[in-house]
C-alpha cells in the first residue's frame, strides 16, 4: 500500500487540530465493546509501516483467509439459513420445522429443553416444570424419530445445540437416520459438543472435565471413521458472549478452546488432517457492527496460522475456520420488542459481511418466550431480504481494505494473542478454567457493561433512552401447554412399557463396562438407542463411573 507517509502524518495532524478546535464537547469517549478506543479517523498510517496487503489479506479462499474461506463466497453458495427451533414435544417441534422449511429455511437447528441439556428424562423429578419450556424434549430414539418425521435425514443438514450429553443425542440421530434407511456417510450436520464453554459460561455440565473431554474425542474419532460429512464439534463463542464477554474475550476464549480440542484429539493418536477439516465454530454477532466484522476476520486469520504453524496441518481444509453465527439474544429487549427486528437485522448484516457460512436470526419476542410462528417467520424473512434485496452478497468481501476495518481487525488479533499468552501462563485452558480465569474476566466485563448502561454512557433504545412510559406489549406469545407436556410423558411411559427390559439391562451393563475401560462409547450409545434405552438411563450409567462435576466457587 504505497503512500507518502510523512505528508500523510502532517495532513492528518492538521485535520485533527482543526476538528478538535471546532468541537465544543469532547467529553464523550468512543469505545468498542472490547474497550478499544475508536480514533475519529483511520488512515494508512495507522496500519503501520509493515502492513502488507498480501500478508494481511490475500485473496478470498486463500491464506491467510482474512477475506473468507471460499473463493467466490456467496456468489457460489449462499449461507445456510438455519433457524434455531424447538419447543414442547417432538411432535410440536416437527410441525415448526416443516413450517420453516416451507417458508424457505435451508437447514435445521435443534433447540433442546433444559432437562435434555442436563441429561435427564422428562419424567425425572428434577424435570418437572421445565419439560419443553426452553426447547424440545428428547429422551429416546422414539422422540428423535418423531422430531424428524417426514423429513429425510439423508437430504437435510441438521445442527444440534447439545453439549454434555451430545454423544448420546447424536447416537439417537444416527439411529433415527438408520431406521429411515440412510447411510452414515451421507449424513450432514453438526453437534455443538463444546463442553469447555459450559464450564466457562453456560454451566450446563454433567461430568468432570477429564471424562467430558474423553466423550468429545470419542465423537471426533467416530465421526472421522464413520460420518465423514459430519462436524462433530462446533466450538462456541456464542454462550461466552451471552454471559457478558467482550468481542475480544469471545474471540480469544473460543479459539483457545478449539486449540484444546485439537490437542486432545492428537493425544488420542488421530492425525490433525484426519479430523481438523470437520471442526467448525459458532459465534455471536452483536451490535457493534464493525467490531463484529473485525472479530470474524481476525478469527479466520488466527486459526489458519495456528493450524499451519503450531499443529503442522498440511491439508488446506484444516486451515479453514468455518462458522455459524447467531444474532445476539442478550442484545434484545423486553421493552419495545418490535425494535428487536432492527437489532437482529443489523447483527445479521454484520455476520454476512463478516463471511459466515450459516446464520440464525433471533426473533423479536425472545425476551418474552420462545418464538411464535409469526416472529420466527419475520426473523427468517430478515435473512432473505439481506440475501435477495440488499446486494451485499454480490461482491466478495466488500469491506476489505477499509482502513478502519483492517485497523480494528489487527487490534482484535492483538487482544486475542494477549489472552492466549495469559492462558498459556496458567498451564492451558482447562487449568485456566479450574482457576476461574475466564469466568472472572467475563464477570468483570459484564459488570463494566452494566455500569455503562446505568450511567447512560451506553444508550439502549427503549430501556434508558426514548422510553415509552405507557407502552403496551402487543405481540403474540407462544405458550407451552399442559397438553404438550402430557403428550411427552405419555409417550415416554409407553416406550418403557413396550421395550425389552432384558436387552436394556444387558446393553446398559456393556456401556458401563466401556466407560470403565478405554473403548469408544459411540457404538454402545447407538446400540442402546436402538434398544429403547433413554437419555437419562445412559447418563445415569456414566455418572456411576465418571461422577458429577461440582464447580469450585470463583470470586
pLDDT per position as a tens digit, 502-520: 999 999 999 999 999 999 9
Q: Is the pLDDT of residue 26 over 60?
A: no
Grid coordinates belonging to 207: 461430568
Convert the pLDDT of each residue in 41-83 to its tens digit: 898 888 988 888 888 999 999 999 999 999 999 999 999 999 8
Identify the sign of the CA torsion 547, 548, 549, 550: negative
Confidence at residue 8, expressed as pLDDT on a 0 to 100 scale: 82
Give the C-alpha separation, 96 to 100, whole Å: 6
Is the preceding omega at residue 413 within 30 degrees of 0, hence cis? no
Confidence at residue 421, expressed as pLDDT on a 0 to 100 scale: 98
Confidence at residue 4, expressed as pLDDT on a 0 to 100 scale: 67
Convert the pLDDT of each residue in 307-344 to its tens digit: 999 999 999 999 999 999 999 999 999 999 999 999 99
Strand partners, 108: 83, 158
Identify the sign of the CA torsion 363, 365, 369, 371: negative
* DSSP string for 457-493: SS--BTTTBS--TT----S------HHHHHHHHHHHH
Confidence at residue 27, expressed as pLDDT on a 0 to 100 scale: 47
Question: What's this model's pTM, rounded to 2 decimal places?
Answer: 0.94
- 283 within 8 A of 239, measured Cβ to Cβ: no
Convert the pLDDT of each residue in 340-369 to its tens digit: 999 999 999 999 999 999 999 999 999 999
Q: Is the pLDDT of residue 456 over 50?
A: yes
Q: Is the pLDDT of residue 22 over 80?
A: no
- 179 within 8 A of 153, measured Cβ to Cβ: no
Average pLDDT over residues 432-446: 96
State what percent of residues in the chain have pLDDT above 90: 86
How does 382-420 read in b/e, with b if 16+ C-beta sit within 10 Å?
Answer: bbeebbeeeeebeebbebbeebbbbbbbbbbbebbeebb
CA terminus-to-terminus distance, the chain? 48
Count of positions (residues) in the chain: 555
Q: Is the pLDDT of residue 171 over 80?
A: yes
Q: Where are the domains of the chain?
A: 76-455
Q: How many CB atoms lie within 10 A of CB 271?
A: 14
Q: Is the pLDDT of residue 222 over 90?
A: yes
Element (H, E) at 345: helix 339-353
Average pLDDT over residues 104-131: 95
Confidence at residue 98, expressed as pLDDT on a 0 to 100 scale: 94
Angle between the N-to-C axes of helices 522-530 and 535-546, in degrees from 0 to 180, rounded to the nearest 10: 150
Confidence at residue 93, expressed as pLDDT on a 0 to 100 scale: 94
Q: Is the pLDDT of residue 21 over 80?
A: no
Cβ burial of 28 (10 Å; 0-12, 13-18, 19+) is: exposed
* DSSP string for 491-549: HHHHHHHHS-HHHHHHHHHHHHHHHHTT--SHHHHHHHHHTT--HHHHHHHHHHHH---
DSSP state of 51: -
Give the C-alpha separation, 211 to 165, whole Å: 12
Q: Is the pLDDT of residue 286 over 90?
A: yes
Confidence at residue 535, expressed as pLDDT on a 0 to 100 scale: 98
Average pLDDT over residues 447-453: 95
Strand partners, 231: 190
User: Minimum mean pLDDT among 19-28, 157-166, 254-263, 488-497: which range?
Assistant: 19-28
- What mean pLDDT value characterizes the chain? 94
Identify the sign of the CA torsion 119, 125, 126, 132: positive
Confidence at residue 378, expressed as pLDDT on a 0 to 100 scale: 96
Question: Is the CATH number 3.30.420.40 carried by domain 76-455?
Answer: no
- 100 within 8 A of 380, measured Cβ to Cβ: yes
423429513: which residue's cell?
A: 151
Reported for 385-391, long-range contacts at CB under 8 A and 24+ positions apart, including other chains, are 385/345, 386/345, 386/348, 386/349, 386/352, 387/74, 387/78, 387/79, 387/81, 387/352, 390/349
Confidence at residue 45, expressed as pLDDT on a 0 to 100 scale: 87
- 86 within 8 A of 110, measured Cβ to Cβ: yes
Answer left, alpha or beta for residue 83, where phi above 0 means left and psi between -120 and 50 means alpha.
beta
Q: Is the pLDDT of residue 3 over 70?
A: no
Strand partners, 188: 157
Identify the sign of the CA torsion 504, 505, 506, 512: positive
Amino acid at each position: 500500500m504505497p503512500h507518502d507517509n510523512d505528508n500523510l502524518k502532517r495532513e492528518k495532524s492538521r485535520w485533527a487540530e482543526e476538528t478538535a478546535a471546532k468541537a465544543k464537547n469532547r467529553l464523550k469517549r468512543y469505545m468498542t465493546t472490547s474497550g478499544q478506543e475508536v480514533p475519529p479517523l483511520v488512515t494508512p498510517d495507522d496500519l503501520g509501516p509493515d502492513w502488507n496487503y498480501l500478508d494481511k489479506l490475500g485473496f478470498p479462499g486463500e491464506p491467510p483467509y482474512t477475506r473468507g474461506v471460499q473463493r467466490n463466497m456467496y456468489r457460489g453458495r449462499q449461507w445456510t439459513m438455519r433457524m434455531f427451533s424447538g419447543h414442547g414435544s417432538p411432535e410440536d417441534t416437527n410441525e415448526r420445522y416443516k413450517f420453516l422449511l416451507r417458508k424457505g429455511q435451508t437447514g435445521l437447528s435443534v433447540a433442546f429443553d433444559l432437562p435434555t441439556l442436563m441429561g435427564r428424562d422428562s419424567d425425572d423429578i428434577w424435570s418437572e416444570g421445565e419439560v419443553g419450556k426452553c426447547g424440545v424434549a428428547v429422551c429416546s430414539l422414539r422422540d428423535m424419530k418423531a422430531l424428524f418425521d417426514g423429513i429425510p435425514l439423508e437430504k437435510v443438514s441438521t445442527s444440534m445445540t447439545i453439549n454434555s450429553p451430545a454423544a448420546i443425542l447424536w447416537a439417537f440421530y444416527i439411529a433415527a437416520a438408520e431406521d429411515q434407511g440412510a447411510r452414515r456417510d451421507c449424513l450432514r450436520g453438526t453437534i455443538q459438543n463444546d463442553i469447555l464453554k459450559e464450564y466457562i459460561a453456560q454451566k450446563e455440565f454433567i461430568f468432570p472435565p477429564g471424562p467430558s473431554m474423553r466423550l468429545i474425542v470419542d465423537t471426533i474419532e467416530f465421526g472421522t471413521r464413520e460420518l465423514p460429512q459430519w462436524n462433530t464439534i462446533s466450538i462456541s463463542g456464542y454462550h461466552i458472549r451471552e454471559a457478558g464477554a467482550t468481542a475480544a474475550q469471545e474471540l480469544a476464549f473460543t479459539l483457545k478452546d478449539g486449540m484444546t480440542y485439537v490437542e486432545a484429539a492428537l493425544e488420542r493418536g488421530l492425525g490433525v488432517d484426519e479430523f481438523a477439516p470437520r471442526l467448525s465454530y459458532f459465534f455471536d454477532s452483536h451490535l457493534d457492527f464493525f467490531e463484529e466484522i473485525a472479530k470474524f476476520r481476525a478469527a479466520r486469520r488466527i486459526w489458519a496460522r495456528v493450524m499451519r504453524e503450531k499443529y503442522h496441518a498440511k491439508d488446506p481444509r484444516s486451515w479453514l475456520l468455518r462458522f455459524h453465527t447467531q444474532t445476539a439474544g442478550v442484545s434484545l429487549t423486553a421493552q419495545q420488542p418490535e425494535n428487536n427486528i432492527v437489532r437482529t437485522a443489523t447483527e445479521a448484516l454484520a455476520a454476512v459481511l463478516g463471511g459466515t457460512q450459516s446464520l440464525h436470526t433471533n426473533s423479536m419476542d425472545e425476551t418474552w418466550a420462545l418464538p411464535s410462528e409469526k416472529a420466527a417467520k419475520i426473523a427468517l424473512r430478515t435473512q432473505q431480504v439481506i440475501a435477495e434485496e440488499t446486494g451485499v452478497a454480490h461482491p466478495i468481501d466488500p469491506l476489505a481494505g477499509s482502513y478502519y476495518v483492517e485497523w480494528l481487525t489487527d487490534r482484535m488479533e492483538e487482544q486475542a494473542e494477549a489472552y492466549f499468552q495469559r492462558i498459556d501462563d496458567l498451564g492451558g485452558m482447562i487449568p485456566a478454567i479450574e482457576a476461574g480465569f475466564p469466568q472472572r474476566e467475563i464477570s468483570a466485563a459484564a459488570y463494566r457493561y452494566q455500569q455503562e448502561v446505568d450511567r447512560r454512557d451506553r444508550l439502549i433504545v427503549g430501556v434508558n433512552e426514548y422510553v415509552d412510559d405507557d407502552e403496551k406489549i402487543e405481540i403474540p406469545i407462544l405458550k407451552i401447554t399442559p397438553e404438550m407436556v402430557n403428550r411427552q410423558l405419555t409417550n415416554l411411559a409407553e416406550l418403557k412399557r413396550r421395550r425389552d427390559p432384558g436387552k436394556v439391562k444387558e446393553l446398559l451393563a456393556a456401556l458401563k463396562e466401556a466407560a470403565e475401560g478405554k473403548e469408544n462409547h459411540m457404538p454402545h450409545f447407538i446400540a442402546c438407542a436402538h434398544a429403547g434405552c433413554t437419555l437419562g438411563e445412559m447418563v445415569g450409567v456414566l455418572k456411576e463411573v465418571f461422577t458429577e462435576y461440582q464447580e469450585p466457587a470463583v470470586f
